[in-house]
Amino acid sequence: MKMSSDILLVRDGDCFRILHGYLRLVAVLSMETEVAADIKGEHGRAMILRTADGLRVEKDSVRLPLLLQE
C-alpha cells in the first residue's frame, strides 16, 4: 500500500471523484494495486483500489466507485 497526501477525493452522491492528484494516482496505480487518499470534508483516509471492475474507493468498510473525468 502506498500512502499519498497528494491525492484528494470528493464524495459525489454514491461515488467519488478526483479533486486533485490525478497524475499522481495514475503513476502510483501503475506500480501498486492500492493507494491511500484524503477525502475533502471527511476525517480519516480512504483506500483507492484497482479492481477488475475499475477503481473503487474503500472507506469505513464500504466500497464505492471512483469516477474518472472523460
3-class SS of residue 39: strand
Cell, residue 67: 469516477
Considering the entire predicted model, what is its pTM?
Answer: 0.87
Q: Which helix (H) or strand (E) holds 7?
A: strand 2-12
State the chain's mean pLDDT as an integer.
Answer: 91
Average pLDDT over residues 58-68: 94
Helix then strand count (H, E) for the chain reads: 1, 6
pLDDT in tens, 6-38: 899 999 999 999 999 999 999 999 999 999 999
Q: How far apart are CA 53 and CA 44, in angstroms?
A: 25
pLDDT for the residue numbered 5 = 66
Residue 31, phi then psi, degrees to nearest 5: -115, -20
